[in-house]
């Protein structure tokens, strides 16, 4: 059985592949992927943008020819060979074409913004799906957070950038062909020179994209630290402690030095990138000079007319711009490519998670739950948090777990709730290993309220109904759960009752006291109609009366449901059907209160310690 699942980060498998990409095949692969993404999120806009690029290209080529006509007409008029009126037509055509180009560019800008937002929405959707589905183990790993950070900061926008690069490339290509054709009609010799002019930039740009990616990888931890420091200085929950401890200057100091370090690295990075672009662009300029020299030579030799030469100079400028745009597009795609690999590796976590969740539906509940020889270590720690634990819970029982801080109680609760899988041993429902069934269906049978439950900044009603989102919120059941957990009075006193947001970060919101929050969390657990309810220190923040009421009513409220609760208060633990005492990750003792007291072991010692504290207070008080 101890089939310890070797944990593989799918991202690691990609590292080798990431470095190896080869130019043309890789380019087409990247384009294919990105186009598929963009196509799925906004095909209409994508087609419109491509069409506009063709229009822009035609308008540009038309401009070259119109300039030549204008120059021709000007020379004739200047030589007194024709009436000024003949100038009007070519000038108007040129003006119309120029206007068309500007209009197309403006419309393209707006459409691109829309398309970019649509792609971003689609990408966010996928990333969030993965972030909420991945195995909880990932949330113990700094590498996971680093990648998540890069994906959010960088990779999300990349598919769109590739498409933008692609559209720009398509446009530049169309324009280059158009302007090139116009140029060839003036003098064919100039064309090859111009195409060669783009090569230096192409060569340096690949190197630049690699630099950019490596820089991003190396700076992610620093960036995350800075964001964390920002959160500490701006967060609502942190604000009071920052003031109480006078931390602002100290935190600012850390923030400043972290930013300083980043700026130093950025300076070096920018210098390297600049050198590369200078080299690339110098190369291009050299070719341009050669081209213009050739043109002069052609005019002198009488092979090109003066008007033709004028138009050619404009065309060369245009073409140089277009060829640059073409290569810039290629560069953008390559640069995005490395980030896209990062993104894909992240999204692969989702496939992993989906595979982990495969399996048939679990039965609706169990007669007996057994944990058999369960051991578990958190990723990266050598000492197991739970060691060879055996426990039994029968349906309808109320079972308690006690033990000192760090003895493994919460970890055991997480294992029973199937948030982690045991490294060794198994959790069985009526003899069947729960791993036989899909993770999510097992989890759907369990309501677990953690020690550090979440305080959602939603309405009070949502804070309860979030316990079961598979069905539409039922106001009657929400009230019932609130009443059972003793949260009803606090909620009804809120300005908008159950509709009041439970956070001041939203207008009209109110905050609750620690104990009131805890009641809301317990009510959330009650609202979830699950056969097994796990409560991790549910009474830690409750006043004595509330605590008494909670445990006195537990059986009645959760009729027939099985309850596992963790507590440090022995007065509440007493009433449990069975008590497990954990020590250093293992179960040290178990039995009813009376059995454990008779044993005179850890339980009896801790119980007497607590009882003695009350008694002596009573005596001296
Ligand atoms: N996410 C984690 N990663 C690594 N180690 C952890 C993690 N959470 C807990 N541990 C370690 O596992 C052990 C058991 O922790 P656990 O939270 O289960 O204790 P506990 O009995 O619930 O304690 P408490 O009474 O303080 O709530 C401790 O040594 C703790 O340091
Ligand atoms: Mg705990």
Rounded distance from Cα 411 to ligand 1 centre (Å): 6
Minimum mean pLDDT among 194-203, 501-510, 554-563, 576-585: which range?
A: 194-203
> What value does the mean pLDDT take over residues 293-298?
83
At residue 7, the pLDDT reads 36
Query: Residue 229's CB: how many other CB atoms inside 10 A?
Result: 18
Q: Give the percent of the chain with pLDDT over 70.
A: 94
Q: Closest Cα partner for 137 from 46, 330, 304, 7?
A: 7
Ligand 1 lined by 567 (C-beta under 6 Å): no
Rounded distance from Cα 33 to ligand 1 centre (Å): 43
pLDDT digits (tens, 9 = 90+) for 124-175: 888 899 999 888 888 888 888 888 888 887 777 777 777 788 788 888 888 8
At residue 526, the pLDDT reads 94
Rounded distance from Cα 409 to ligand 2 centre (Å): 5
Shared domain check, 257 and 128? yes
Residue 431 sits in a domain whose CATH number is 3.40.50.300
Shared domain check, 75 and 52? yes
* Angle at the Cα of 562 from the Cα atoms of 486 and 470, rounded to 5 degrees: 75
Q: Is residue 473 situated within a structural domain? A: no
b/e map of 173-205 (b: 16 or more CB within 10 Å)?
A: bbbbebbbebbeebbebbbebbeebbebbbebb
Question: Checking DSSP bridges between strand 398-403 and strand 386-394, what pairing results, if any?
Answer: unpaired
At residue 99, the pLDDT reads 92
Count of domains for the chain: 2
> What value does the mean pLDDT take over residues 467-485?
94
Radius of gyration of the chain (CA): 35
Which two structure tokens, joined as six digits, stand for 231?
Answer: 């959160």
Shared domain check, 370 and 348? no
Shared domain check, 332 and 393? no
**Spatial distance between the Cα atoms of 515 and 532, rounded to a whole number of angstroms:** 23
| Mean of all residue pLDDT scores within the chain | 86
Shared domain check, 381 and 295? no
The terminus-to-terminus CA distance of the chain in angstroms comes to 57
pLDDT digits (tens, 9 = 90+) for 230-283: 999 988 888 888 888 889 999 999 999 999 999 999 999 999 999 988 888 788
Rounded distance from Cα 109 to ligand 2 centre (Å): 54
Rounded distance from Cα 354 to ligand 2 centre (Å): 29
Ligand 1 lined by 161 (C-beta under 6 Å): no
At residue 528, the pLDDT reads 93
Residue 82 above 80 pLDDT?
no
End-of-domain residue from the set 355, 390, 409: 355
Residue 83 above 50 pLDDT?
yes
Which two structure tokens, joined as six digits, stand for 120?
Answer: 């971003």
Residue 191 above 90 pLDDT?
no
Taking the CA of residue 568 as reference, the ligand 1 atom at the shortest distance is: 25
Shared domain check, 155 and 184? yes
Rounded distance from Cα 7 to ligand 1 centre (Å): 21
Query: Residue 238's CB: how many other CB atoms inside 10 A?
Result: 14
| Dihedral over Cα of 450, 451, 452, 457: its sign | positive
In three-state secondary structure terms, 175 is helix
The values of phi and psi at residue 226, to 5°, are: -65, -40
CB 37 within 8 A of CB 157: no
Ligand 1 lined by 410 (C-beta under 6 Å): yes
Minimum mean pLDDT among 306-310, 319-323, 539-543: which range?
A: 319-323
Ligand 1, atom 17: closest residue by C-alpha: 410
Taking the CA of residue 404 as reference, the ligand 1 atom at the shortest distance is: 25
At residue 15, the pLDDT reads 41
- Top-confidence range, 17-26, 204-213, 422-431: 422-431
**Spatial distance between the Cα atoms of 416 and 376, rounded to a whole number of angstroms:** 12
Shared domain check, 377 and 294? no
Shared domain check, 332 and 185? yes
Q: Is residue 288 situated within a structural domain? A: yes
Question: Checking DSSP bridges between strand 532-536 and strand 562-566, what pairing results, if any?
Answer: parallel
Q: Is residue 517 situated within a structural domain? A: no
Ligand 1, atom 4: closest residue by C-alpha: 378
Question: At 11, is the pLDDT very low, low, confident or very high (cuts 50, 70, 90)?
Answer: very low
Q: 């605590």: which residue's tokens? A: 547
Residue 348 sits in a domain whose CATH number is 1.20.1560.10
Q: Compute the half-sphere exposure of residue 619: CA atoms within 13 Å on the CB side of its CA.
A: 6
Q: Is residue 587 situated within a structural domain? A: yes
Rounded distance from Cα 367 to ligand 1 centre (Å): 29
Shared domain check, 328 and 278? yes
End-of-domain residue from the set 355, 383, 411: 355
Ligand 1 lined by 411 (C-beta under 6 Å): yes
> What value does the mean pLDDT take over residues 336-361?
85
Query: Residue 405's CB: how many other CB atoms inside 10 A?
Result: 6
> What value does the mean pLDDT take over residues 389-401?
95
Query: Residue 559's CB: how many other CB atoms inside 10 A?
Result: 7
| DSSP code, position 361 | P
At residue 618, the pLDDT reads 55
Taking the CA of residue 383 as reference, the ligand 1 atom at the shortest distance is: 29
Question: At 17, is the pLDDT very low, low, confident or very high (cuts 50, 70, 90)?
Answer: very low
Rounded distance from Cα 403 to ligand 2 centre (Å): 9
- Top-confidence range, 69-73, 206-210, 277-281, 463-467: 463-467
Ligand 1, atom 12: closest residue by C-alpha: 385
**Spatial distance between the Cα atoms of 239 and 235, rounded to a whole number of angstroms:** 6
Q: Is residue 69 situated within a structural domain? A: yes
- Measured torsion, CA atoms of residues 564, 570, 576, 577, in degrees rounded to the nearest 10: 110
At residue 294, the pLDDT reads 82
Greater confidence (293 vs 199) lies with 293
Question: At 198, is the pLDDT very low, low, confident or very high (cuts 50, 70, 90)?
Answer: low
Q: Is residue 410 situated within a structural domain? A: yes
pTM of the model: 0.79
Q: Is residue 545 situated within a structural domain? A: no
Q: Give the percent of the chain with pLDDT over 90.
A: 41
- By most ligand atoms within 8 Å of CB, the mutation choice from 140, 408, 448 for ligand 1 is 408
Shared domain check, 406 and 277? no
Query: 599: domain range?
Result: 365-445+560-621
Minimum mean pLDDT among 81-85, 402-406, 445-449, 540-544: which range?
A: 81-85
At residue 6, the pLDDT reads 35
- By most ligand atoms within 8 Å of CB, the mutation choice from 406, 417, 534, 537 for ligand 1 is 406
End-of-domain residue from the set 309, 335, 355: 355
> What value does the mean pLDDT take over residues 503-519?
91
Ligand 1 lined by 415 (C-beta under 6 Å): no
**Spatial distance between the Cα atoms of 373 and 2, rounded to a whole number of angstroms:** 9
Q: Is residue 16 situated within a structural domain? A: yes
Ligand 1, atom 31: closest residue by C-alpha: 406
pLDDT digits (tens, 9 = 90+) for 37-67: 888 888 999 999 989 988 988 888 888 888 8
Query: Residue 277's CB: how many other CB atoms inside 10 A?
Result: 14
- By most ligand atoms within 8 Å of CB, the mutation choice from 410, 534, 539, 568 for ligand 1 is 410
pLDDT digits (tens, 9 = 90+) for 411-455: 999 999 999 999 999 999 999 999 999 999 999 999 999 989 999
Shared domain check, 373 and 294? no
CB 437 within 8 A of CB 613: no
At residue 23, the pLDDT reads 64
Shared domain check, 398 and 345? no
At residue 300, the pLDDT reads 85
């Amino acid at each position: 059985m101890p089939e310890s699942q070797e944990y593989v980060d799918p991202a690691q498998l990609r590292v080798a592949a990431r470095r190896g990409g080869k130019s043309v095949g890789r380019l087409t692969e990247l384009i294919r992927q990105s186009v598929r993404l963009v196509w799925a999120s906004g095909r209409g806009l994508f087609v419109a943008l491509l069409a506009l690029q063709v229009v822009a290209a035609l308008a540009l080529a038309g401009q070259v020819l119109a300039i030549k006509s204008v120059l021709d007409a000007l020379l004739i008029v200047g030589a007194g060979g024709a009436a000024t009126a003949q100038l009007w037509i070519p000038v108007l055509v040129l003006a119309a074409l120029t206007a068309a180009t500007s209009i197309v560019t403006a419309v393209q800008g707006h459409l691109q913004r829309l398309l970019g937002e649509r792609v971003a929405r689609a990408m966010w959707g996928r990333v969030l799906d993965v972030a909420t589905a991945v195995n909880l183990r990932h949330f113990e790993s700094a590498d996971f957070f680093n990648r998540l950070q890069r994906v959010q900061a960088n990779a999300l926008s990349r598919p769109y950038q590739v498409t933008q690069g692609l559209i720009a490339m398509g446009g530049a290509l169309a324009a280059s062909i158009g302007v090139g054709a116009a140029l060839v009609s003036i003098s064919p010799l100039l064309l090859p020179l111009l195409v060669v002019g783009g090569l230096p930039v192409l060569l340096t740009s690949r190197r630049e994209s690699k630099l950019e990616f490596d820089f991003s990888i190396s700076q992610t931890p620093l960036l995350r630290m800075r964001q964390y420091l920002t959160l500490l200085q701006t967060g609502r929950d942190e604000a009071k402690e920052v003031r109480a401890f006078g931390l602002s200057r100290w935190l600012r100091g850390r923030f400043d030095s972290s930013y300083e370090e980043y700026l130093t690295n950025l300076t070096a990075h920018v210098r390297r990138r600049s050198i590369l672009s200078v080299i690339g662009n110098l190369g291009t300029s050299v070719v341009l000079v050669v081209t213009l020299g050739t043109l002069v030579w052609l005019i002198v030799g009488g092979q090109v007319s003066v008007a033709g030469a004028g138009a050619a100079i404009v065309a060369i400028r245009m073409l140089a711009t277009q060829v640059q745009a073409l290569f810039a597009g290629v560069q953008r795609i390559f640069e995005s490519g490395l980030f896209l690999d990062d993104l894909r590796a992240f999204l692969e976590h989702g496939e992993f998670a989906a595979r982990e969740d495969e399996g048939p539906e679990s039965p609706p509940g169990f007669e007996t739950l057994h944990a058999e020889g369960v051991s578990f270590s958190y990723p990266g720690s050598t000492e197991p948090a739970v060691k060879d634990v055996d426990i039994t819970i029968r349906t309808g029982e109320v079972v308690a777990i006690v033990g000192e801080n760090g003895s493994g109680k919460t970890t055991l609760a997480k294992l029973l709730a199937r948030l982690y899988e045991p490294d060794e041993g198994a959790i069985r429902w009526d003899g069947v290993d729960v791993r036989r069934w899909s993770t999510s269906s097992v989890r759907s049978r369990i309501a677990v309220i953690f020690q550090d439950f979440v305080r959602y900044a939603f309405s009070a009603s949502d804070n309860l109904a979030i316990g079961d989102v598979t069905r539409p919120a039922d106001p009657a059941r929400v009230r019932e759960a609130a009443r059972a957990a003793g949260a009803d009075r606090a909620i009804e006193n809120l300005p908008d009752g159950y509709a009041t947001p439970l956070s001041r970060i939203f207008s009209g919101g109110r905050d609750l006291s620690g104990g009131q929050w805890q009641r809301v969390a317990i009510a959330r657990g009650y609202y979830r109609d699950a056969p097994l309810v796990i409560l991790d220190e549910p009474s830690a923040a409750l006043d004595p009366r509330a605590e008494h009421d909670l445990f006195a009513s537990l059986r009645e409220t959760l009729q027939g449901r099985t309850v596992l609760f963790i507590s440090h208060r022995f007065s509440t633990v007493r009433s449990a059907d069975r008590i497990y005492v954990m020590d250093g990750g293992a179960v040290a003792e178990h039995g009813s209160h009376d059995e454990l007291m008779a044993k005179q072991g850890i339980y009896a010692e801790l119980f007497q310690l607590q009882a003695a504290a009350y008694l002596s207070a009573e005596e001296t008080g």
